Structure 1
């Protein structure tokens, strides 16, 4: 489908492409995926007549889009979270648009609907998932079933404290440090009550907070030759892991000195 000559259609395309990229970045997609999705949308809308001077450029904190038919725009990205459901929904919209199953206007409306959609994950879902992750770490590393309750308790404390501190502090790395510190304290309390391997319990405490998606995105971006974005995300993941380690070390210092 080629867009018409109306200026409104060109503005719609630029707005929709930029908004789709913004949603993908804000919800945890790697920059290579964001750029590829935007390029596919533009190619389908303009077709083979697309000028070579048109381009998209995506970094961790910003998106550039230039279209000779509709001008150029920049979108700053200030917040990021991880919502794989939204990423899946945006990718599906992109596929439907490329296949001609939805119009440009319909794609815009569906993107706005995804943006307004709020994660409906219930509290008990988070409770169960966190408990399974923290408890399974003990068994994966050869620990005892006796340590599982303490690890689950510590993991739950760390996870929910991280959620609260993220909303309260609005600062990078401090929520990770505070949550790991309190999770470590909870892990030590569980260890003194009934535990065998303190080191594994501490691992279970921080397991829900390890930046696994960020590490994966960094590797994928560097493999796709997005070296700047990949290195930025890798450094951020390194600082996050360091904050977690510092929190656990602080908790250990309080009780083991």
Structure 2
């Protein structure tokens, strides 16, 4: 082994690597990335020079890690969010460790620092980004500048409702449905006041909630032959998109019947 005295404990090594994988998976990394990062950490720690190995197995809801010399651990994953800054930070820590620039103990401390780090993006920053996205969708699909304020209003309503329902319900798909429903209603009200293309305004209402990262991760996982994880994430994204569609359909039924 080429790791320090404290890291000679197999459990310490496994716990540190498992913790890194947990942070990656909880913050939106695809399972193939999580598995590759953990493998590189273990190979460097034990001095394994093989290009491929089988120390880890990662799914959407759990991580298994073991050493050939004995010892294994499992970590269940119950929550997922999307924080690309944390993923980039963990990847940099992994590269520093694999290059020998930091010790295992130092890597563990830096991982805990990343876990404690909170998103510095304020809510009004997110609202500005939401407004830019919802408004630009109108122009991207050939709409009129007249529809932009209505789309921005509908997008802001749906994003606010989604944020509130996610904190209040702690249930999958219901926040997406409720946000699309109320966002669609707001879009229709704005359309009756001043609008030209109702369909584009509805697109602007749900644009901030489209599960783009989940769809991308599903494709990347399946291309990396992680078919089970890829299909699970794809199905989750499909249900999310269906909830958004059902919310918009419900809003249209209420106003257009």
TM over 0.5: yes
* Residues 124/220 of structure 1: CA separation in 2 closer, same or farther (3 Å cut): same
Contact kept in structure 1, 2:3 and 2:103, CA below 8 Å = no
Secondary structure of the residue that 1:49 maps to in structure 2? coil
| 8 Å Cα contact 2:221/2:230 also seen in 1 | yes
Give the 3 Å change call, closer, same or farther, for CA 50–70 of structure 1 in structure 2: farther
* Cα RMSD for the two superposed structures: 1.8
Structure 2 runs not aligned, ≥5 long: none
Q: How far has the Cα of 1:161 moved from its partner?
A: 0.6
TM-score (norm 1): 0.96
Q: TM-score, normalised by structure 2?
A: 0.96
Question: CA 1:103–1:147 in structure 2 vs 1: closer, same or farther (change >3 Å)?
Answer: same
SS in 1 for 2:66: strand
Structure 1 residues 55, 154: closer, same or farther in 2, change over 3 A?
same
Once the 2 structures are TM-superposed, how far is the Cα of residue 241 of structure 1 from its aligned partner? 0.1
Structure 1, unaligned runs of 5 or more: none
Aligned residue for 1:23, secondary structure, equals helix
**CA distances 1:10-61 after superposition (whole Å, capped 9, x unpaired):** 2221111000000000000000000000000011111137899952000000
Aligned-residue offset at 1:93: 0.3
Partner SS for 2:47: helix
Say if 1:53 and 1:151 are closer, same or farther in 2 by CA, change over 3 A. closer
Q: Using the alignment, how far apart are the partners of 1:252 and 1:6 within structure 2?
A: 62
1:180-217 C-alpha deviation (Å, 9 max, x unpaired) = 00000000011011000000000000000000000000
Corresponding pairs, count: 257
Q: Is the 8 A contact 1:3 1:10 kept in 2?
A: no
Query: Where do 4+ consecutive residues of structure 1 move more than 4 Å?
Result: 4-8, 49-54
Question: Which residue of structure 2 lines up, in the alignment, with residue 207 of structure 1?
Answer: 207
Q: What is residue 59 of structure 2 aligned with on the other side?
A: 59
Deviation at 1:9, TM superposition (A): 3.4
Change (3 A) 1:38 1:2: same
